[in-house]
Amino acid sequence: MKVSEIMTRKPVCCSPSSSTLSVALLMQETDTGIVPVIQDPFTPILVGVVTDRDLCLHVVAAGRDPSSTWIDGCMTRDPVCCSEHDDVSLALELMKTNQIRRLPVVNEKHEVTGMLSLGDLVRKAGIEASVIAATLQSICGPTQGAKRRTERIITAA
């Protein structure tokens, strides 16, 4: 089965110059915990991702003003992603290896075309429960040498 068959298409996106407040409200409105960051509204090239956890740790906990703090200052750059043409088994392996639950899906131009979550794999791909359980255990465990994308650029508020 291909990623394109089960991914969530046309996810909401933001740009690096979006305020963290506007993205938090977007997450609330669309009931999502991750938003792909694209170059600009006219160029949907993936440049990063921002999660609800990023906003909590790098904005709220840091005491920064969400209305004047930009996504550029708390997003993960160069996120792990997959292609819409990849097999779901590769996406599952990427999640396991990199300890992540959600992957941006890109086309050959590196433009965002969707998002794939562990939940999508459970609900739509028919992957065995034991495989999902092993993946989830790996994701939730200590990093133990797994390459995890955590580079952050934090700017002063």
Query: CA torsion sign, 101 to 106 to 108 to 109?
Result: negative
* Direct distance between the N- and C-terminal alpha carbons of the chain, in angstroms, rounded to an integer: 45
In CATH, what number does 3-140 get? 3.10.580.10
Pick from 15, 157, 44: nearest CA to 111: 44
Chain-centroid distance, C-alpha 16: 14
Average pLDDT value over all residues in the chain = 86
Query: Using 50, 70 and 90 to split pLDDT, how confident is the model at 154?
Result: very low
Per the CB < 8 A criterion, the answer to whether 95 and 139 are in contact is: yes
Model confidence pLDDT, tens digit, residues 73-94: 999 999 999 999 999 999 999 9
Does position 148 have pLDDT exceeding 50, yes or no?
Answer: no
Domain boundaries, the chain: 3-140
